[in-house]
Structure 1
Amino acid sequence: MQKSVRIQVKGIQIYPDGREDKQDFQVTGSFYKRQGNYYIFYQESEATGMAGVSTALRVEKNKLILTRMGAADQRQIFEPGVLHHSNYVTPFVSLYLGALAEEMEISLTELGGHITLKYKLFADEQEISQNTLKILIKGDTPQ
């Protein structure tokens, strides 16, 4: 059964020159479990620089599949030790990206939980950043 949840996303990108970009935002989204997999949905906002984009995460035992639809389209698979490629398409640019997940911790129940993902991002086979992504899912509490 789908339920409304608070989703906190914290991300850090470290570039080869040492610069860092950080994101920390909260959104309301939906969360459910079906056939052993967890699903998380939310709308991106201007705070993320991706207004007009819907994000969906399918969480399997040892795999995370991110799908973005709308103003940007992408389907990226994260699986420890495996380099997965994707096309990231916006009205302004199309990039061929690779993501190599180095560490993944998934701790979810029907009540919520967290995901921690560390991965390297590549464009044209060159590393462009090292990334850490932390997602916390909490059931909405009545007001």
Structure 2
Amino acid sequence: MGENVLVKINTVQMDFKGNKDNLELITEAKLYVKNNATYVIYEESEISGMKGTTSRLKITEDCVIIKKIGRNNSELVFELGKRFKTLYRTPHGSFPMEIVTKKIEINKEKLCKDMEITIEYDLNISGLFEGKNSINIKIN
């Protein structure tokens, strides 16, 4: 069930002091299309620091939802200009988190393969981190 795809995710975090972190993940995933949405499901790895977590991307025309279930649980909703508040749950505790999406571009073929998504957003995790992030997702 589902189509095998390759997912490449590049995340850049930059705090307001100018410190920058870059994380890249390349993994195999399953792609499904249901009710006008594209779903991409993959297992996190040790490299991402979330081994034991399953990630699910739900992609619509103007919104991306990233849900993580397992060792680390979270749900991030990216919709242009909207503020999203949630709890970021880790083995070390839960932290209030807020994101504001500044840019979202979803480029895809009709069959949902060869998709590229760019998201830029502000992130605040309850005094632990505040900065600007960007995510680039390529699905082939």
Q: Please say whether Structure 1 and Structure 2 have the same fold, judged by a TM-score greater than 0.5.
A: yes
- 1:68 maps to which residue? 68
Instruction: Name the CA distance, whole Å, in 2 between partners of 1:25 and 1:72.
Output: 17
Q: 1:66 Cα shift?
A: 0.9
- 2:117 maps to which residue? 115
Instruction: Name the CA distance, whole Å, in 2 between partners of 1:24 and 1:46.
Output: 12
How many residues matched?
A: 138
Instruction: Name the CA distance, whole Å, in 2 between partners of 1:123 and 1:6.
Output: 30
Please report the TM-score for the alignment, with normalisation by the length of structure 1: 0.90
| Aligned partner letter, 1:61 | E
Q: 1:124 Cα shift?
A: 3.3
Instruction: Name the CA distance, whole Å, in 2 between partners of 1:118 and 1:106.
Output: 12
Q: CA RMSD in A?
A: 1.6
Q: 1:34 Cα shift?
A: 1.2
1:9-65, Cα deviation, whole Å (9 max, x unpaired): 111000111100001120001112111111111111011111111100101111111
The alpha-carbon distance between structure 1 residues 127 and 25, as it changes in their structure 2 partners (threshold 3 A), is closer
Percent identity of paired positions between Structure 1 and Structure 2: 24
Q: 1:125 Cα shift?
A: 7.9
The 5 Å alignment of 1:1-80 reads: 2-80=2-80
Instruction: Name the CA distance, whole Å, in 2 between partners of 1:71 and 1:126.
Output: 20
Q: 1:91 Cα shift?
A: 1.9
Q: 2:130 aligns with which of 120, 128, 131?
A: 128
Q: 1:88 Cα shift?
A: 1.1
- 1:141 maps to which residue? none
1:50-107, Cα deviation, whole Å (9 max, x unpaired): 1111100101111111100000111111111010011111221211101101000001
| Aligned partner letter, 2:108 | L
- 1:103 maps to which residue? 103
| Aligned partner letter, 1:20 | K
Instruction: Name the CA distance, whole Å, in 1 between partners of 2:135 and 2:62.
Output: 16
| Aligned partner letter, 2:10 | K
Structure 1 unaligned blocks of 5 or more: 139-143
Structure 2 unaligned blocks of 5 or more: none
